[in-house]
Structure 1
Amino acid sequence: MDLLVLQTDFGRSDGAVSAMYGVANQVSQTLNIYDLTHGIPQFNIWEASYRLLQTVNYWPKETVFVSVVDPGVGSSRRSIVAKTSTGHYIVSPDNGTLTHLYLHLGIEELRIIDENVNRLPGSSESYTFHGRDVYAYTGARLAAGIINYSEVGPSVDVESLVKLKVDKPELTDTEISGTIDVSDIRYGNLWTNVPRLDFQNLIGYGQDVEVEITHNEQVYYQATLTFDHFFAEVKPGAALIYVNSLDNIALAINQGNFLKAYGLGTGINWKISFKKVN
């Protein structure tokens, strides 16, 4: 498909992303190169994993993604290319970046990058920019059809993949709880891991819900909110519960920023519970 999509925590303030573009264009000037994001918080593997889940399945099959959030660059961590069950390819360090794809889309095959073949010529003494020298180079070669997937390197057991700890939602007769996985960055909406269908087994649209948010067992937020279809069902500045674009339950303030308003955060240690109000 000649589609290459890049994700990093590099930002845009220097030439790192441009260097990756340059390497890919040296491999093939017919590639179509796009950005997923370069705004992943530094070293935040969890968020890199989630943003891939948010995006990958909306691209055509055989699209190649390069994801570089790599605090262990140069160490013994593996460099891999995964083939998802949906037919996409992900080039990444094996550090947990593929956790959410493994859980929600499925990983069909996993290969270690053979750097004797798939590494930018002349870069063997560069130990801290594998995003350019190994991942962009390998991803571009795969996307351009210069190598096929079997030529990436040796196949390894999918179950050997490094995975981050992920908690599953818990459901009782009166309550459902989960984690606040990430935020909708521009707007500060809180995206949870609670699926809509599980939530709606307990709570319907228009109903009041008791919400509690904790971090390391300390309560940061408690309120009663309604479960609404869209933001404008409440007044500007009012909070609501809604279904996000991944069909999970989320919290927002209409024309506001929930994350900043209450000094909250995201990640597996941020817990949320929803209790039906009788």
Structure 2
Amino acid sequence: MNNYLVLQTDFGISDGAVSAMYGVALSVHPAIRIFDLTHDIPQYNIWEGAYRLYQTISYWPEGTVFVSVVDPGVGSERRSVVVKTATNHYIVTPDNGTLTQIKKEIGIVEARIIDEKVNRLPKSGESYTFHGRDVYAFTGARLATGIITYEQVGPEVEVDSIIELPVSEAKLIKGGVTGSIDILDVRFGNLWTNIERELFKQLDIVYGDSFEVTIENDTRQVYKNIMTFGRSFADSHLGEPLLYVNSLDKIGVALNQGSFAKAYHVETGVNWTISIRKVQNISYN
């Protein structure tokens, strides 16, 4: 372990919840280094919490411990787990689907249930609504600082038993490719799809090619237009739509210096689908 603890929650920072987690971790060991992934996950949005972990985790040093708390089922029978990834990172979290993308895209090699008899903040045993502080921050800090080994987290469980949320697969269609809109680049309103660059390249594309892009929510069409495939936002005019490869090597959709999501009221999830078909090149004057 490397003393690094990374926190993600849907708590926001308008009250003392995140600060309490910091305090617990520092009380475990004052040398711990604590970082924030984000505390702006929309309330109860397990899918977005899962995706933000996937977006971030591979760029951290091996041995880093992540605590992810998006937990609408707190106090219920859902499990509290710590998993070890194929990239040698550790995630402390409720087993409620938060590990979906990690399991699918990165890989989980081992999973353990947290034994709360030993891995729980002392004198917190009668509290059932703040496991982020009492169980996850406490356990994560003990693991990150080497006070406990991974084996001392609790009993091992089958990796296959880790809960996953429904996901859809991008695929080639006649003349194009189809997929889902997995997440937003929130601050800028760009759409991030599940269409891998390598799959998109099978359409024999080059920068500057034109595509018909159709976006649907279930069976309701919400957008259809022609846009170009660019290397960066500089390859389009102000306010124009474009396709590009995002930082996760997947296809994104953007408006140059505008929010595509807000402009066209597009949201995310498996019900939001996108179809991209190659058309004859056009030019904008």
Shorter-chain TM-score tier: over 0.9
The residue number in structure 2 matching 1:96 is 97
TM-superposition CA deviations, 1:203-241 (whole Å, max 9, x none): 332110000000011000000100000001111111100
Provide the rounded CA distance (Å) in 2 between the counterparts of 1:216 and 1:62. Answer: 41
The residue number in structure 1 matching 2:111 is 110
The residue identity in structure 2 corresponding to 1:178 is G
**How many pairs are equivalent?**
278
The residue number in structure 2 matching 1:129 is 130
Provide the rounded CA distance (Å) in 1 between the counterparts of 2:268 and 2:174. Answer: 26
Provide the rounded CA distance (Å) in 2 between the counterparts of 1:31 and 1:132. Answer: 16
Name whichever of 201-210 and 150-159 sits farther off. 201-210
Provide the rounded CA distance (Å) in 1 between the counterparts of 2:81 and 2:219. Answer: 37
The residue number in structure 2 matching 1:183 is 184
The residue identity in structure 1 corresponding to 2:131 is H
- 3-state SS of the aligned residue for 2:142? helix
User: What do you get for the CA RMSD once the two structures are aligned?
Assistant: 0.6
Provide the rounded CA distance (Å) in 1 between the counterparts of 2:100 and 2:160. Answer: 11
- 3-state SS of the aligned residue for 1:249? strand
TM-superposition CA deviations, 1:132-181 (whole Å, max 9, x none): 00000000000010000000000000000000000000113412000000
The residue number in structure 1 matching 2:155 is 154
- Identical aligned pairs, as a percentage? 60
The residue number in structure 1 matching 2:145 is 144
- 3-state SS of the aligned residue for 1:245? coil
TM-superposition CA deviations, 1:76-96 (whole Å, max 9, x none): 000000000000000000000
The residue identity in structure 1 corresponding to 2:103 is Y
Q: Quote the offset at 1:128 in angstroms.
A: 0.3
TM-score between both structures, scaled by the size of structure 2: 0.97
The residue identity in structure 2 corresponding to 1:38 is H
Provide the rounded CA distance (Å) in 1 between the counterparts of 2:33 and 2:7. Answer: 11
Query: Which among 244, 264, 267 is matched to residue 242 of structure 1?
Result: 244
Is 1:21 the counterpart of 2:22 in the alignment? yes
The residue identity in structure 1 corresponding to 2:222 is Y
Provide the rounded CA distance (Å) in 1 between the counterparts of 2:241 and 2:175. Answer: 22
Is 1:261 the counterpart of 2:279 in the alignment? no
The residue identity in structure 2 corresponding to 1:211 is V
Query: Which among 266, 276, 279 is matched to residue 277 of structure 1?
Result: 279
Query: Which among 230, 233, 252 is matched to residue 232 of structure 2?
Result: 230
The residue identity in structure 1 corresponding to 2:54 is L
TM-superposition CA deviations, 1:74-126 (whole Å, max 9, x none): 00000000000000000000000000000011000000000000000000000
TM-superposition CA deviations, 1:42-72 (whole Å, max 9, x none): 0000000000000000000000000000000
The residue identity in structure 2 corresponding to 1:124 is G
The residue number in structure 1 matching 2:283 is none
TM-superposition CA deviations, 1:6-54 (whole Å, max 9, x none): 0000001000000000000000110010000000000000000000000
Is 1:209 the counterpart of 2:211 in the alignment? yes
The residue number in structure 1 matching 2:70 is 69
Provide the rounded CA distance (Å) in 1 between the counterparts of 2:195 and 2:258. Answer: 22
The residue number in structure 1 matching 2:40 is 39
